[in-house]
Amino acid sequence: MRLFKSETTKTITFIVISSICLLLSLVNSINNYLHFNLSWVAILLCGLPIIKEACISLYKEFDIKADVLVSLALIASVIIGETFAAGEIAVIMTIGALLEDLTVQKAQSSIESLIKLTPQKARVIRNKQEVMIDADDIQIGDIIRVIAGEIIPADGIIIKGEASIDESIMNGESLPVDKTVGDDVLS
C-alpha cells in the first residue's frame, strides 16, 4: 500500500477515529445505546482498505502478501464474533503500513537529495590539458583534477597531492578525513 500526502492524512484520520471507536467499544453502555459495536467503525475504516488491497493483489498479480493473511484474520474474527479483535487487527496493520510508507518516502527523498549532490561536470586531464566534461563521460583511467571545495565526481585513487575530504555523506563522520597519495576517494 503506497501512500501519497493526501492519502497519508486520510490514513492518519482513519487511524485516530478507529482507535477512539475501539476504546469506546470497550464501554458496554455506549454499545447498547448505539445498538451496534463501535469496533465496526475500525473494521470499516481500516479493515476494508486492507481487504480491498489484498483482493486487488490476488486478482491482478496472484500475489499473496501480508494483506491477504491479515484479511483472512479480519474476516475470521468477524465470523466468530470477535469484532474488537478484528478492529484491533485492522488498526495495528494500518499503523504498520503507514509507518512503512513513511519510512520508504523518507529513504526516497534522502536518495534524491544525494543524487542532487552529484557533480554534473569534471575537470579531466587529457593530452596534458585540463578539459571540462560531463561527469557521466568519465572513463576508467582518466585523471581528474579536483579543486578545494569541489565534490569528487568519481571514485578513484589520489595520485598527486593531499586533501581533507568531507565523507560525511558516506560514513556520517562529521570531521573531514585527511587523504594523501595512494588513498581511495569516493564520489
Indicate which CATH number applies to the domain containing 157: 2.70.150.10
Same domain, 32 and 82: yes
Examine the pLDDT at 77 and tell me if it is beyond 90: yes
Same domain, 101 and 39: yes
Domain boundary among 99, 116, 133: 116
Same domain, 98 and 15: yes
Same domain, 181 and 149: yes
C-alpha cell at 152: 569528487
- pLDDT for residue 108: 86
Same domain, 106 and 176: no
- pLDDT for residue 1: 47
Same domain, 112 and 125: no
Examine the pLDDT at 86 and tell me if it is beyond 90: yes
Same domain, 19 and 90: yes
pLDDT digits (tens, 9 = 90+) for 44-57: 999 999 999 889 88
Torsion of CA 56, 60, 62, 67, to 10 degrees: -20
Domain boundary among 116, 145, 165: 116
pLDDT digits (tens, 9 = 90+) for 91-121: 999 999 999 988 988 888 878 877 777 778 8
Contact call for residues 22 and 88 (beta carbons, < 8 A): yes
- pLDDT for residue 3: 52
Domain boundary among 116, 145, 163: 116
Examine the pLDDT at 31 and tell me if it is beyond 70: no
Task: Please state the rounded mean pLDDT for residues 25-36.
Answer: 75
Same domain, 96 and 125: no
Alpha-carbon torsion (66, 72, 74, 80), positive or negative: negative
- pLDDT for residue 128: 83
Same domain, 109 and 144: no
Same domain, 155 and 180: yes
Domain that holds residue 66: 5-116
Report residue 151 CA to chain centroid gap. Answer: 26
Q: Please tell me the total count of domains within the chain.
A: 2
C-alpha cell at 149: 571545495
Q: Is the pTM of this model over 0.85?
A: no
Same domain, 70 and 95: yes
- pLDDT for residue 4: 58
Same domain, 25 and 43: yes
Name which residue leads in pLDDT, 157 or 118: 157
CB atoms within 10 A of CB 57: 16
Task: Please state the rounded mean pLDDT for residues 11-25.
Answer: 92
With vertex at residue 179, the alpha carbon angle to CA 173 and CA 181, rounded to the nearest 5 degrees, is 160
